[in-house]
């Protein structure tokens, strides 16, 4: 085993916004052994997974893949991408593989071996699990998966751990495009494979996965470098104006997770209770003391999304203080008109009242302020585009006709800046946030390799 | 009394997966962190009362010494991005924390 392994990461969510190239170039000059980034997030809502699309533009995805591929091939080091195309579905993996193929041609790169794996899960396999009594366990207070919820699901991905990445490196892959993965796994995999302690390897992944979010001052899309040894992890900001400090590195352990001490992956849990942080240079913090607790049974996390229906959006303004005070009655009037018209057909109407609690809904704590104007966003959802449009139009326009007993303005209860409703993306919801037991950690992640440019 | 917004460096909220929102309150120095931590103004109970949610919707409440941070996580009313969700990223749910009043140190 070499004394250290260096990994650089240029972007916390490849494609969502382009990486900054100057700090990446500094990182490449520091002779990394691995260039890696995660490209996924469930922050983007259930729509991309359900509809099998990316929320990131292809141009930005290509920009970063090109940046990383050229550097990795020039240096002769592996390039690793996880959770291709925001969701890590099979089509997104194929998309990234194709981008790599095009980039090889464009730059006439010497042939190399590309490894990739898929993450989509067959619904019928899960149905068998449910029927055989092998529970698909709900996370975050969700009930275990039942067949009704499975039927309401359009697409499911499983969250890979280190296993398919190690497998593909063993198969000689020089570039890896991964399906849906735990962010930290794609960084941990090459370190574990090289013989470094699992706990430090997972910590390396944990701290690198969000690139410069572990540095200060705040600034995303900048490259950071992590260096693992048998004793510690050292993380350094590559941007000349950023530093990795004890506060910024420890602070990042909290980011986007419910508990700063534990990180769960397929195969175990990274325990950061005993982490010790030490500033060893202006831009570098050293971490020791993480622990890895292997799981007794390998359970893989699943994400699933299901379509509710087509969707239209309407916008409504209100200025009359009496109408503002009675906005719930105005909304109820419009709901009643929709109910009268559409009866038992399935549809949904949703109202966000901006100026009152449009952002926070029931969590809003400020209930004493009386706004002088309101904007109401109306969403109408139904199986067909035609019905969704009519539902939304009813839910929006009928606010104009609301009958309030003491209203002075009898020519119209609300204001429209557009007398129309607008077609929006279809409505989806997260149907799965569950785990399933597997016998083999590679079971849900078929691995493939192909020569590019040969 | 001093508002939390004058004492903390960072007060933020963000999704933690599809079903939870996590809140981070981060201080620049240990003294301020300890002052807020021991003030009793920021606890599982006060946060539940502020947001008017049942205590069991707060899944985690952690005083995170290495980062001088107080962190808690709540279960969402509905998963992120469901129709009607006004904050898909959960990024604006921290606003009520800004004006929490912290007693002067004894």
Q: What is the pLDDT of residues A33-77, one digit of tens each?
A: 999 999 999 988 999 999 999 999 999 999 999 999 999 999 999
| Partner residue facing B86 (CB), from A47, A253, A361 | A361
Q: Does residue A140 sit within a domain? A: no
Q: Are residues A73 and A195 in the same domain?
A: yes
pLDDT number for residue A253: 81
Looking up tokens 């409703």, which residue turns up? A421
* A110 touches B at CB < 8 Å: no
Categorize the per-residue pLDDT at A454 as very low, low, confident or very high, splitting at 50, 70 and 90: confident
Q: Do A360 and B14 touch (CB under 8 A)?
A: no
- Tell me if residue A50 falls in helix, strand or coil: helix
A234 bridge partner residues: A227, A286
Chain A: give the shortest CA distance to residue B11, in Å.
12
pLDDT number for residue A332: 98
pLDDT number for residue A361: 96
Q: Would you list the domain boundaries of chain B?
A: 2-77
pLDDT digits (tens, 9 = 90+) for A398-446: 999 999 999 888 889 999 999 999 999 999 999 999 999 999 999 999 9
Q: Are residues A200 and A342 in the same domain?
A: no
H helix runs in A348-426, sequence order: 385-397
Q: Do B86 and A433 touch (CB under 8 A)?
A: no
Q: Are residues A218 and A284 in the same domain?
A: yes
- Residue A1 pLDDT exceeds 80: no
Give the CATH number for residue A388.
Answer: 3.30.70.360
- Residue B106 pLDDT exceeds 80: no
Q: Are residues A263 and A350 in the same domain?
A: no
pLDDT digits (tens, 9 = 90+) for B50-81: 999 999 999 999 999 989 999 999 999 999 99
Q: Are residues A208 and A110 in the same domain?
A: yes
pLDDT number for residue B14: 95
Number of domains in chain A: 2
- Which residues, including other chains, have CB under 8 Å from residue A344's CB and lie 6 or more apart? none
CATH code 1.10.357.10 for B2-77: no
Q: Are residues A64 and A203 in the same domain?
A: yes
Q: Are residues A280 and A379 in the same domain?
A: no
A187 within 8 A of A204, measured Cβ to Cβ: yes
Looking up tokens 């800046």, which residue turns up? A417
Chain A: give the shortest CA distance to residue B41, in Å.
16
Q: Does residue A124 sit within a domain? A: no
Q: Does residue A350 sit within a domain? A: yes
Average pLDDT over residues A108-116: 98
Q: Does residue A133 sit within a domain? A: no
* A138 touches B at CB < 8 Å: no
pTM confidence score: 0.94
Instruction: Give the integer Cα–Cα distance in Å for A299 and B78.
Output: 25
- Residue A2 pLDDT exceeds 90: no
Give the nearest chain B residue to A256 (CA atoms): B16
Q: Does residue A371 sit within a domain? A: yes
Q: Are residues A174 and A294 in the same domain?
A: yes
* B13 touches A at CB < 8 Å: no
| Partner residue facing B60 (CB), from A46, A259, A358 | A259
Q: Does residue A265 sit within a domain? A: yes
Q: Does residue A325 sit within a domain? A: yes
Q: Are residues A319 and A253 in the same domain?
A: no
pLDDT number for residue A308: 98
Average pLDDT over residues A109-113: 98
Side-chain-facing half-sphere of A8: CA atoms under 13 Å: 29
Q: Are residues A287 and A382 in the same domain?
A: no
Q: Do B24 and A358 touch (CB under 8 A)?
A: no
pLDDT number for residue A188: 98
Burial A91-111 (b: 16+ CB within 10 A, else e): ebbebbbebbeebbeeeebee
- Tell me if residue A312 falls in helix, strand or coil: strand
pLDDT digits (tens, 9 = 90+) for A173-228: 999 999 999 999 999 999 999 999 999 999 999 999 999 999 999 899 999 999 99
pLDDT digits (tens, 9 = 90+) for A245-283: 999 999 888 888 899 999 999 999 999 999 999 999 999
Chain B: give the shortest CA distance to residue A152, in Å.
14
Q: Are residues A290 and A232 in the same domain?
A: yes
Sheet strand arrangement including A34-40: A276-281, A284-288, A233-237, A224-228, A5-9, A34-40, A79-86, A175-177, A112-117, A447-452
Instruction: Show the 3-state SS of chain B.
Output: CEEHHHHCCEEEEEECCCCEEEEEEECCCHHHHHHHHHHCCCCHHHHHHHHCCCHHHEEEEEEEHHHCEEEEEEECCCCCCCCCCCCCCCCCCCHHHCCCEECCCC
Number of A to B CB contacts under 8 A, please give it: 139
Q: Does residue A211 sit within a domain? A: yes
Q: Do B19 and A360 touch (CB under 8 A)?
A: no
- Which residues, including other chains, have CB under 8 Å from residue A124's CB and lie 6 or more apart? none
pLDDT digits (tens, 9 = 90+) for A319-372: 999 999 999 999 999 999 999 999 999 999 999 999 999 999 999 999 999 999
Categorize the per-residue pLDDT at B9 as very low, low, confident or very high, splitting at 50, 70 and 90: very high
pLDDT number for residue A126: 98
Q: Are residues A261 and A354 in the same domain?
A: no
Q: What residues make up the domain containing A370?
A: 308-431
Contact list, A313 vs chain B (CB under 8 Å):
none
Q: Do B83 and A250 touch (CB under 8 A)?
A: no
Average pLDDT over residues A368-381: 97
């Amino acid at each position: 085993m070499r004394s250290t392994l260096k990994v650089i990461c240029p972007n916390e969510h490849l494609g969502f916004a382009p990486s900054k190239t100057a700090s990446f170039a500094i990182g490449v000059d520091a002779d990394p052994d691995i260039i890696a980034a995660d490209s996924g997030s469930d922050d983007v809502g259930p729509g991309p997974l359900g509809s099998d699309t990316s929320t990131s533009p292809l141009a930005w995805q290509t920009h970063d893949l090109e940046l990383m591929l050229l550097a990795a091939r020039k240096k002769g080091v592996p390039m690793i991408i996880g959770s291709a195309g925001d969701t890590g579905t099979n089509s997104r993996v194929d998309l990234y593989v194709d981008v790599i193929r095009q980039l090889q041609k464009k730059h006439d790169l010497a042939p190399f071996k590309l490894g990739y794996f898929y993450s989509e899960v067959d619904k019928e396999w899960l149905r068998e699990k449910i029927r055989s009594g092998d529970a698909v366990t709900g996370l975050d207070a969700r009930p275990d998966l039942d067949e009704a919820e499975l039927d309401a699901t359009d697409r499911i991905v499983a969250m890979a751990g280190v296993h398919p990445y190690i497998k593909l490196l063993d198969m000689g892959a020089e570039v890896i495009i991964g399906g849906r993965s735990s962010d930290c796994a794609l960084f941990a995999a090459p370190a574990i494979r090289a013989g470094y302690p699992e706990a430090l390897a997972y910590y390396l992944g944990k701290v690198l996965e969000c690139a410069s979010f572990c540095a200060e001052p705040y600034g995303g899309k900048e490259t950071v470098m992590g260096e693992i040894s048998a004793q510690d992890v050292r993380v350094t900001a590559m941007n000349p104006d950023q530093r990795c400090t004890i506060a910024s590195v420890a602070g990042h352990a909290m980011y986007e997770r419910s508990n700063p001490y534990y990180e769960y992956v397929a195969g175990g849990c990274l325990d950061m209770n005993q982490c010790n942080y030490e500033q060893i240079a202006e831009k570098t913090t050293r971490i020791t003391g993480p622990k890895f607790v292997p799981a007794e049974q390998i359970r893989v996390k699943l994400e699933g999304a299901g379509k509710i229906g087509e969707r239209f959006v309407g916008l409504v303004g209100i200025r009359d203080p009496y109408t503002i005070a009675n906005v719930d009655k105005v909304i109820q009037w419009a709901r009643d008109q929709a109910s009268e018209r559409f009866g038992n057909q399935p549809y949904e109407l949703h109202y966000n009242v901006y100026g009152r609690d449009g952002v926070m809904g029931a969590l809003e704590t400020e209930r004493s302020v009386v706004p002088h104007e309101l904007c109401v966003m109306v969403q109408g959802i139904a199986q067909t585009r035609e019905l969704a449009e009519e539902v939304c139009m009813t839910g929006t326009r009928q606010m104009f006709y609301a009958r309030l007993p003491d209203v002075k303005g009898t020519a119209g209860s609300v204001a429209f800046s557009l007398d129309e409703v607008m077609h929006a993306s279809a409505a989806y919801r997260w149907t799965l946030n569950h785990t399933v037991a597997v016998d083999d950690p590679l079971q849900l992640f078929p691995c493939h390799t192909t020569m590019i440019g040969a | 009394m001093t508002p939390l917004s004058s004492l903390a460096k960072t007060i933020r909220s963000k999704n933690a997966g599809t079903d939870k929102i996590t809140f981070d309150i981060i201080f620049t120095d240990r003294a301020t962190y300890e002052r807020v931590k021991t003030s009793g103004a920021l606890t599982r109970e006060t946060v539940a009362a502020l947001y008017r949610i049942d205590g069991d919707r707060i899944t985690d409440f952690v005083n995170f010494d290495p980062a001088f941070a107080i962190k808690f996580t709540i279960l969402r009313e509905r998963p992120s991005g469901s129709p009607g969700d006004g904050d898909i990223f959960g990024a604006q749910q921290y606003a009520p924390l800004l004006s929490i009043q912290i007693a002067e140190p004894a």
